[in-house]
Chain A
Amino acid sequence: MLSRLRSAFRFQESGLLLVIFALGALLTLFSGTVRTPVFATAPDGSRERVFMTNAAGERLPAVAERNKFLNAQNFAQLAKDTSFIAIMAVGMSLVIISGGIDLSVGAIYALASVLGAIALNHFGPDGPGASTSPWIGVMLGTLTCVGIATLCGLVNGSLIVALRVHPFIITLGTMAILRGIAFVVTKGQSIGGFPPAFREIVRFEVGNGLSLVPLAVMIIVTIAGGLYLARLAAGRRVYAIGGNELASRFSGIRVERVKLGVYLLSGFTAGIAALLSLGYYGAATSGDGQGYELNVIAAAVVGGASLTGGKGTALGAVLGALVIQMISSGIIILGIDQNYSQIIIGTVVIAAVVLDNFNTWLARRRLTQRAT
């Protein structure tokens, strides 16, 4: 069973998992405890604080003491915070494996967010389409958000293929263009006021107020990305052109089509992340996702994607995002001065790449030794 899983996801992320468990253990040990209020579900389904009466007859809110890191709320929060970057990192890992780069994901995220927000606002409580069925609004908003992002990805891919210009330049250009469009469309205003049904879906809570929808979507995207790369011929072609584009071309792979596909999928994942963000945070502005491209690339690289192409996995990208988010959250949980977070995260990114190179070198050496 494990060997099947391993082959299905190219289970080379054991090192990353080890890092995650080690980080988790450290945070559990050193985070200390926190007293948090106790909630119960009221008859109408809402969450209410639980109160207790002490010996003096005072009514006080009940509190529970728990480990700051090792608790369900923190894990749900960690998963939610990771999900936006992780979902985009799955798309980005496809691009990086193919030997390309997509600097426009943050801008795609922003444009998809604001256009999706405009559509959703139209059907929101104060919008002109308020009387329409909320599900139509949710569907149109979803289609707009994900559709626009996918279209942006397609435009990126088409320009890269048609103009034969390095993706760095093309996506640098589209990054500015798309963010500009987002600003022109919104005039810098924040757009909220979505149909409550939409927000209820994304913020749906289970148990003690746990929002698990972002986590569920992240898992689905990871599995889909993993299966695409490991199981489908189209995914193997991505590795092939990233490993050696010329050889792939000579072996009959339609390189242009593969490239078009990876940028389209990168846009698509940015759209999914934008949609989740809309539902969770309930608003969008043209400034959204500023600088996210670097976080997304960092997650993919920490997750084992090689910037020279031909290497990387969907699961690795998600775990890379999780490592970065765990460090970022851990800094808050441990009460470390936030000014050190950049230094720590930067160091981890470099260390991950160095370790990865070392690992590759060891593997090659082992292979050479076996051959001789």
Chain B
Amino acid sequence: MIKRLLPSLAALALLAVVGRAAEPRSLTIGLVAKSQGNPVFQAARVGAQDAAKELGAKYHLNIKIDWRTPNEEDAQKQAEAIEQLVLAGADGISVSCSDANKLTDAINSAVKNGVPVATFDSDAPASLRFVTYGVDDIECGKQVMLELAKIMDGKGVVAILAGNQNAPNLQKRVAGVKEEAAKYPGIAIRDTYFHKETPQDAAAKVEQVMQANPEITGWAMIGGWPLFTENALKWQPGTVKCVAVDALPAQLAYIRSGHVPVLLAQQCYEWGHRTVELLVDKIVFKKDPPAVKEISALIPVTKDNVDAFGKNWAKWLPK
């Protein structure tokens, strides 16, 4: 009896082994952005999820994106999220650092525990992260000022809208704007204006500054915050020039209305997509990127390409 059953049992065991071998390998990648409410990070999340689907199908993997982002910017909460992700068994982590100093230990601890970490948008340069992906913030600030200087014909009074004063990447962009502005003797920087990074706070700040300083003829916005609301720029198109970083759907209306001649789009969808690609290469194929710093270019969006660019958002925003 046993002898008769043996071949069947062997076949069953083989099937079980084959079945197990055919099961896709599971990977969990933690995604820790700076804040929940900012649409650029929602685009990064969609990018990560899309990359998980694409790479999962391509390499026969079951990739889960574990989104662990504080509601508002809080580096301590980010560090806690990284530590918790490691304990929960994440295979890799992608993070945009609100405070590089505060996150360095958490990143190093994750790496020492065998969890590779990639950073995007805002780096922790002293940490053991194996790659960082995003714009060069100094260059970003310079490019904002360069575009603004072009449309202002190299003369006028410029205000810098700068978001959260604690964010190291924004501080670098401000430095870039000032460095570039120094090349134009006809341009004077009125001041740098910080604000809470909500569209309403940013729009209110622009309005207050314009009322107090009507001589301002140009705005260098190193983030697009006020343009996420409607009617934030209360002047006739062309009277005050404006260049802003990012090109979210709400911002595109300002290109069409003529209030903002140039938007410089960060590749925020790619923040998630590309870092997941890099992490999968690292975790599955033990492959390191060619360089630790991978720079993503800013894409200028003007009246000429606004409609074509706008179509991307149908794919990039959460459904």
CA distance A285 to B102 in the complex (A): 9
> 1/0 per position for A44-78, CB-CB distance to B under 8 A?
00010100000000000100000010010110010
Contact across chains for B87 and A282 when beta carbons are under 8 A apart: no
A190/B102 contact (C-beta < 8 A), A281-B76, A332-B81 known: yes
Contact across chains for B102 and A281 when beta carbons are under 8 A apart: yes
Query: Of B64, B98, B100, which contacts A335 at CB under 8 A?
Result: B64
A68/B89 contact (C-beta < 8 A), A190-B99, A332-B81 known: yes
Query: Of A34, A183, A287, which contacts B88 at CB under 8 A?
Result: A34
CA distance A51 to B114 in the complex (A): 12
User: B27 to nearest A CB, angstroms?
Assistant: 13
Interface size class of A (residues with CB under 8 A): 35 or more
Q: Give the residue name and chain of the A residue nearest to B85 (CB).
A: A332
Contact across chains for B99 and A338 when beta carbons are under 8 A apart: no
Q: B207 at the A/B interface (Cβ < 8 Å)?
A: no
Q: B237 at the A/B interface (Cβ < 8 Å)?
A: no
CA distance A81 to B79 in the complex (A): 10
Q: Which of B66, B67, B87, B102 has the most CB of A within 10 A?
A: B87
Contact across chains for B67 and A338 when beta carbons are under 8 A apart: yes
A68/B101 contact (C-beta < 8 A), A188-B166, A190-B166, A286-B166 known: no
CA distance A34 to B88 in the complex (A): 7
User: A325 to nearest B CB, angstroms?
Assistant: 9
Q: B84 at the A/B interface (Cβ < 8 Å)?
A: yes
> 1/0 per position for A29-49, CB-CB distance to B under 8 A?
000001111000000000101
Give residues 104-124 of A contacting B (CB, 8 Å). Answer: none
Q: Give the residue name and chain of the B residue nearest to A193 (CB).
A: B101
A183: B residues at CB distance < 8 A: 165
Q: A192 at the A/B interface (Cβ < 8 Å)?
A: yes
Contact across chains for A287 and B73 when beta carbons are under 8 A apart: yes
CA distance A47 to B108 in the complex (A): 13
CA distance A49 to B114 in the complex (A): 9
Contact across chains for A287 and B164 when beta carbons are under 8 A apart: yes
Contact across chains for A68 and B166 when beta carbons are under 8 A apart: no
User: A128 to nearest B CB, angstroms?
Assistant: 19
Give residues 131-169 of A contacting B (CB, 8 Å). Answer: none
Q: B211 at the A/B interface (Cβ < 8 Å)?
A: no
Q: A198 at the A/B interface (Cβ < 8 Å)?
A: no
User: A188 to nearest B CB, angstroms?
Assistant: 3
Query: Of A285, A338, A342, which contacts B68 at CB under 8 A?
Result: A338
User: A295 to nearest B CB, angstroms?
Assistant: 10
A13: B residues at CB distance < 8 A: none
Q: B105 at the A/B interface (Cβ < 8 Å)?
A: yes
* Total residues of chain B contacting the partner, CB 8 A: 39
Contact across chains for A73 and B102 when beta carbons are under 8 A apart: no
Q: A238 at the A/B interface (Cβ < 8 Å)?
A: no
> 1/0 per position for A73-100, CB-CB distance to B under 8 A?
1100100010010000000000000000
Q: A277 at the A/B interface (Cβ < 8 Å)?
A: yes
B84: A residues at CB distance < 8 A: 77, 81, 329, 332-333
CA distance A81 to B165 in the complex (A): 26
A34/B89 contact (C-beta < 8 A), A49-B114, A77-B83, A329-B84 known: yes
A61: B residues at CB distance < 8 A: 114
Q: Which of A71, A281, A291, A342 has the most CB of B within 10 A?
A: A281
Contact across chains for B194 and A333 when beta carbons are under 8 A apart: no
Q: A360 at the A/B interface (Cβ < 8 Å)?
A: no
Q: B171 at the A/B interface (Cβ < 8 Å)?
A: yes
Query: Of A188, A291, A339, which contacts B165 at CB under 8 A?
Result: A188
User: B23 to nearest A CB, angstroms?
Assistant: 16
A68/B105 contact (C-beta < 8 A), A290-B72, A335-B64 known: no
Q: B80 at the A/B interface (Cβ < 8 Å)?
A: yes
A34/B165 contact (C-beta < 8 A), A188-B171, A283-B102, A332-B81 known: no
Q: B213 at the A/B interface (Cβ < 8 Å)?
A: no
User: A78 to nearest B CB, angstroms?
Assistant: 9
Q: B69 at the A/B interface (Cβ < 8 Å)?
A: yes
Q: A102 at the A/B interface (Cβ < 8 Å)?
A: no
A282/B114 contact (C-beta < 8 A), A77-B83, A332-B68, A332-B85 known: no
Give residues 151-188 of B contacting A (CB, 8 Å). Answer: 164-166, 168, 171
Contact across chains for B166 and A285 when beta carbons are under 8 A apart: yes
Contact across chains for A283 and B99 when beta carbons are under 8 A apart: yes
Give residues 51-92 of B contacting A (CB, 8 Å). Answer: 64, 66-69, 71-76, 79-81, 83-85, 87-89
Q: Give the residue name and chain of the B residue nearest to A334 (CB).
A: B88
B interface list, Cβ under 8 A from A: 28, 36, 64, 66-69, 71-76, 79-81, 83-85, 87-89, 98-102, 104-106, 112-114, 164-166, 168, 171, 194
Beyond A190-B168, A191-B101, 16 additional contacts (C-beta under 8 Å) are A34-B88, A73-B87, A77-B83, A77-B84, A81-B83, A189-B166, A190-B101, A283-B75, A283-B99, A285-B102, A286-B166, A287-B73, A287-B98, A287-B166, A288-B75, A335-B28
13 A-B pairs (CB sep. < 8 Å): A37-B114, A71-B87, A73-B87, A281-B76, A281-B105, A282-B101, A283-B99, A284-B102, A286-B166, A287-B73, A288-B75, A333-B84, A339-B36
The 6 closest A-B pairs by CB, nearest first: A283-B101, A188-B165, A34-B89, A192-B101, A287-B166, A285-B166
